[in-house]
Structure 1
């Protein structure tokens, strides 16, 4: 029994969306939008109130990047992996800052990063393959047109004949 392709796409997109939504916990903690016991530990580096609010915005931005990656993947945009790598890098930086509360998310980030790197490699390969096949096709098409298109003007025939005789 073969799993349909849309179902396989969901197997990557849904965990990616859940991971993105979990980043909202960091945002809500720093902006005091949730219960105070949501994230219990302090950051690995003490943050000022302004830095903590900035970190909260970065959590929100990481959420948006990861959710956007999932949506771009589902609508089959070739460049979804670029957005995703940015989201994973930002997510991992925040995880290191909030290590005690978020260290296990590193496992998911590594899995997502491997998938995105493989997708990027596949995208580059496909792009080069398309460029090469188009390049050869256009070159062959030009040569065919040059050889097999008859020149109907008598001036063209004389110029060509003169060119051949000079050679």
Structure 2
């Protein structure tokens, strides 16, 4: 009886650590998208973004960022809303990447990882 309690408790702790890690990755990906908004509206000098970003595209960068942040929160709250939000965020993010493929192609990697996590969550 005691052994099974410790086994379940240990697995639970590992699951929570993994969940927090995934939520932080989603949050970080969302925060990266804020840079496009900041550059589009000249609110910050973002040297890492070499391509020009229009104001309308900057709004999409902001929306994508907010979607990923909300996805992270809903994921931690065990609400299945995170799946729909996450799919929307990955779709918008990938659309932005395709628009600036030469500079942003490596953003496909976290989108692919998030897409797999979302698919496995269904």
After TM superposition, the structure 1 = structure 2 runs for residues 56-67 of structure 1, keeping only pairs within 5 Å, are: 56-67=58-69
In 1, Cα distance between equivalents of 2:46 and 2:77:
38
1:22 aligns to 2:24 (yes or no): no
Aligned residues: 112
Per-residue deviation, 1:41 = 2.9
In 2, Cα distance between equivalents of 1:92 and 1:118:
19
Instruction: Decide which of 4, 8, 19 is 1:9's aligned counterpart.
Output: 19
Residues 36 and 114 from structure 1, CA distance in 2 versus in 1: closer, same or farther, beyond 3 angstroms?
Answer: closer
Residues 86 and 36 from structure 1, CA distance in 2 versus in 1: closer, same or farther, beyond 3 angstroms?
Answer: closer
**Radius of gyration: which is bigger?**
1
Q: Provide Cα deviations, 1:98-121, integer angstroms capped at 9, x if missing partner.
A: 22322111001001001101112x
- Point out the structure with the larger helix share: 2
Per-residue deviation, 1:37 = 2.8
What are the ranges of 5 or more consecutive residues in structure 2 without an aligned counterpart? 1-9
Aligned-CA RMSD value: 1.6
Query: Normalising to structure 1: TM-score of the pair?
Result: 0.62
Q: Tell me if the contact between 2:35 and 2:46 (Cα under 8 Å) persists in the aligned partners.
A: no
Q: Tell me if the contact between 2:39 and 2:58 (Cα under 8 Å) persists in the aligned partners.
A: yes
Query: Normalising to structure 2: TM-score of the pair?
Result: 0.84
In 2, Cα distance between equivalents of 1:68 and 1:74:
10
After TM superposition, the structure 1 = structure 2 runs for residues 57-96 of structure 1, keeping only pairs within 5 Å, are: 57-96=59-98
Per-residue deviation, 1:79 = 2.5
Q: Tell me if the contact between 2:37 and 2:59 (Cα under 8 Å) persists in the aligned partners.
A: yes
Instruction: Decide which of 99, 107, 117 is 1:105's aligned counterpart.
Output: 107
What are the ranges of 5 or more consecutive residues in structure 1 without an aligned counterpart? 44-51, 121-167
Instruction: Decide which of 51, 56, 61 is 1:54's aligned counterpart.
Output: 56
Report runs of 4+ in structure 1 exceeding 3 Å deviation. Answer: none
